């Protein structure tokens, strides 16, 4: 019997990798690379060759000098502990690996099946060491549904994707499902857009399917612009074929024959991987004409965006693709009615599309087993800030902040860097479009409806944890500065409103505000929220409104008492040294260029405010973070 395309790819992968006893996976995502993962990768590759060990070395790198046996992988998520080295099938994970550790890893673990104990993850709460992902809470408490292959497979090897049933969902849809059946299945699954809005995906597809037009488009939105968000980037870099397969299924469902992947230009590796994935799919006969022998055709174009945050909005994104300035347009008409080049268009973000093939293969019931009734499935989050374990995580909708922060994240870190859960102050969810969650929300179910009910939103999935040393007005000012910078300027409420809100926040943090300033800030935020044209302007005031709601007393301390409770606003905080943190080492005295620091060694020091020029040199030199207000 003649084998089909997918079976041939599977056989090719198995033949190429037969006989390999061990697999060494070196994570070299952005965080790991910053900590020297490339050197670790080179050292391990060299050690494997010198010891003539039959092993496959993987890393998220691109090297023209790499041996033919060397592969690549995507980010493994645990950025806080990088560089990471996995040994399979042993299930061993080594953390914070240095170049000098490479020979020992290869000699002991790969060659002799021994564990290098000092490189295992050590739980910061109880000091216990864990052998691998199955034992580490950061991984074991997750449910990696969409990200299951990221960090495991070679994203530049289509045959390896096929070996994990890649493109089987697309084949099933093309061979045995009608467009209306696909739309109905995705609608029954309850899949909602993972880009922030949460619109039902199946309903969006059905609206476009019903449109009578001989030309339709599918767009994969990879214009991920929230500060600290890297969920879509990780999928495009770690498993690009999943997004392509999702696009193929969406195209079949609505009757499209052309698609675009819109990727931020700041994601060069994602652009490279997506382009190679498209080219490989074409060469394999999966993309192009006569897909799976059905007579259907679908082609994908990869386009780099110019980096504007507003281009993540549907109509602005389409304008950019068409060569116009990325500016939003009023809706209706909606893209499903009149989108790219005036034709019906479906736009989904990377995470949404990458989830579609999993639903087709696993089934609706299996997908709905995760999450909540109204928000089924999982969501990826970028967990950052004052938390022990930062990185990319995936949890079911309905998970709580308490589970994410104190279990997956390992707990809140205080100003001294040590775990102290009592230091928890707030979480900013959804980036500049989201809202602020506080202690009373720790047990709130994280899903679309629950967050909307308290004035917040899932957004793209950013989670920034803040401890007691965080100045809330400063945080609001940071996000407002971002929104103001990224405003396209088309509508007055957003263009001028965000500028004025930023100016009011600057007055507050510089000690120039009063109660009238707070009133003007809140009134203006409500106007911008209601009157702006697109989602950027409508959600820009969210961080301000939510922090005013939960931390009004802190704002009032800034305007009434001219005091910053967190001691972060220089204009409101006289320079000083915290006696509880100062150990009397005397380094600050030596570094101060104007002799403003006095005191006795091995006791504690103080700063003479009149002499201090607030240069910040002493604070940079202090290892104990005892100095403030400079």
Task: Give the model confidence (pLDDT) of 311-365 as tens digits.
Answer: 888 999 999 999 999 999 988 999 999 999 999 999 999 999 999 999 999 999 9
- Mean pLDDT in residue range 111-129: 91
pLDDT for the residue numbered 1: 40
Same domain, 97 and 129: yes
Same domain, 340 and 200: yes
- For residues 74 and 234, is the Cβ–Cβ distance under 8 A? yes
- For residues 543 and 432, is the Cβ–Cβ distance under 8 A? yes
Same domain, 198 and 325: yes
In a domain, 298, yes or no: yes
Which region among 59-63, 98-102, 603-607, 610-614 has the lowest average model confidence (pLDDT)?
59-63
- Percent of the chain at pLDDT > 90 equals 71
The CATH number of residue 398's host domain is 3.10.20.600
pLDDT for the residue numbered 56: 61
Which region among 54-68, 200-214, 469-483 has the lowest average model confidence (pLDDT)?
54-68
CA distance 421 to 548: 24
In a domain, 239, yes or no: yes
Same domain, 402 and 324: no
Same domain, 548 and 583: no
Q: What's the number of domains the chain is made of? A: 5
The CATH number of residue 542's host domain is 1.20.1440.230
Domain limits for position 106: 20-139
What would the pLDDT profile of 589-625 be if each residue is shown by its tens digit? 999 999 999 998 888 899 998 899 999 999 999 998 8
Same domain, 265 and 393: no
- Mean pLDDT in residue range 298-302: 97
Instruction: Give the three-class secondary structure for 586.
Output: coil
In a domain, 9, yes or no: no
pLDDT for the residue numbered 25: 85
Same domain, 346 and 389: no
pLDDT for the residue numbered 544: 95
- For residues 512 and 551, is the Cβ–Cβ distance under 8 A? no
In a domain, 214, yes or no: yes
pLDDT for the residue numbered 261: 98
Mean pLDDT value across the chain:
91
Residues in the chain: 630
- Percent of the chain at pLDDT > 70 equals 96
Same domain, 482 and 540: yes
- For residues 498 and 487, is the Cβ–Cβ distance under 8 A? yes
Same domain, 346 and 392: no
What would the pLDDT profile of 484-537 be if each residue is shown by its tens digit? 998 998 999 999 999 999 999 999 999 999 999 999 999 999 999 999 998 889
Same domain, 185 and 133: no
What would the pLDDT profile of 228-286 be if each residue is shown by its tens digit? 788 899 999 889 999 999 999 999 999 999 999 999 888 888 899 999 999 999 999 99
CA distance 492 to 490: 7
The CATH number of residue 615's host domain is 3.30.70.20
pLDDT for the residue numbered 51: 77
Same domain, 345 and 300: yes
> Closest Cα partner for 220 from 197, 199, 238, 194?
194
In a domain, 63, yes or no: yes
Same domain, 357 and 431: no
Instruction: Give the three-class secondary structure for 129.
Output: strand
pTM value? 0.89
Instruction: Give the three-class secondary structure for 109.
Output: helix
């Amino acid at each position: 019997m003649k084998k089909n395309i997918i079976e041939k790819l599977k056989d090719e992968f198995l033949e190429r990798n037969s006989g390999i006893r061990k697999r060494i996976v070196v994570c070299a995502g952005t965080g790991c690379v910053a900590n020297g993962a490339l050197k670790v990768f080179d050292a391990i590759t060299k050690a494997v060759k010198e010891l003539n060990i039959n092993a496959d070395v993987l890393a998220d790198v691109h090297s023209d000098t790499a041996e033919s046996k060397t592969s690549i992988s995507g980010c493994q998520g645990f950025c806080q502990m990088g560089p990471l080295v996995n040994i399979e099938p042993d299930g061993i994970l080594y953390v914070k690996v240095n170049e000098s550790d490479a020979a020992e890893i290869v000699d002991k673990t790969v060659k002799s099946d021994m564990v290098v104990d000092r490189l295992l993850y050590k739980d910061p709460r109880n000091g216990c060491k864990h052998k691998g992902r199955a034992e580490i809470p950061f991984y074991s408490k997750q449910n990696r549904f969409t990200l299951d292959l990221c960090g495991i497979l070679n994203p530049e090897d289509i045959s390896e994707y096929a070996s994990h049933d890649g493109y089987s969902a697309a084949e099933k849809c093309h061979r045995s499902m009608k467009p209306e059946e696909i739309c109905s299945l995705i609608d029954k699954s309850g899949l909602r857009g993972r880009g922030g809005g949460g619109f039902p995906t199946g309903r969006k597809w059905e609206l476009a399917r019903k449109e009578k037009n001989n030309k339709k488009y599918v767009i994969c939105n990879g214009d991920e612009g929230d500060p600290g968000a890297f969920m879509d980037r990780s999928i495009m870099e770690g498993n690009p074929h999943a997004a392509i397969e999702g696009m193929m299924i969406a195209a079949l469902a609505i009757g499209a024959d052309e698609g675009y992947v819109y990727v931020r230009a700041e994601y060069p590796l994602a652009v490279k991987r997506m382009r190679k994935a498209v080219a490989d799919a074409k060469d394999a006969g999966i993309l192009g004409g006569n897909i799976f022998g059905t007579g259907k055709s679908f082609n994908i174009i990869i386009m780099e965006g110019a980096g504007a945050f507003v281009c993540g909005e549907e109509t602005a994104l389409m304008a950019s693709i068409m060569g116009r300035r990325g500016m939003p347009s009023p809706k209706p008409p909606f893209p499903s009615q009149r989108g790219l080049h005036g034709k019906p268009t479906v736009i989904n973000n990377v995470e949404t599309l990458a989830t579609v093939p999993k639903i087709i293969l696993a089934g609706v019931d299996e997908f709905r087993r995760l999450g909540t009734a109204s928000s089924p499935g999982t969501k990826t989050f970028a967990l950052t800030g004052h938390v022990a374990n930062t990185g990319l995580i995936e949890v079911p909708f309905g998970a709580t902040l308490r589970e994410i922060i104190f279990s997956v994240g390992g707990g809140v870190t205080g100003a001294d860097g040590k775990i102290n859960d009592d230091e928890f102050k707030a979480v900013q969810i959804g980036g500049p479009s989201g809202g602020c969650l506080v202690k009373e929300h720790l047990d709130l179910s994280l899903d679309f409806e629950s967050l909307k009910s308290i004035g917040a939103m899932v957004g793209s999935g950013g989670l920034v944890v803040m401890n007691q040393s965080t100045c809330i007005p400063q945080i609001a000012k940071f996000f407002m500065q971002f929104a103001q910078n990224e405003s396209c300027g088309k509508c007055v409420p957003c263009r001028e409103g965000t500028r004025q809100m930023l100016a009011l926040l600057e007055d507050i943090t510089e000690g120039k505000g009063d109660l009238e300033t707070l009133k003007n800030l809140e009134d203006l935020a409500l106007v911008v929220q209601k009157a702006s044209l697109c989602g950027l302007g409508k959600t820009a005031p969210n961080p301000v409104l939510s922090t005013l709601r939960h931390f009004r007393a802190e704002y009032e301390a800034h305007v009434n008492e001219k005091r910053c409770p967190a001691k972060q606003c220089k204009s409101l905080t006289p320079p000083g040294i915290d006696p509880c943190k100062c150990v009397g080492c005397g380094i600050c005295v030596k570094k101060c260029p104007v002799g403003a620091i006095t005191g006795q060694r091995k006791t504690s020091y103080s700063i003479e405010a009149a002499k201090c020029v607030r240069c910040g040199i002493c604070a940079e030199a202090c290892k104990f973070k005892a100095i403030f207000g400079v």
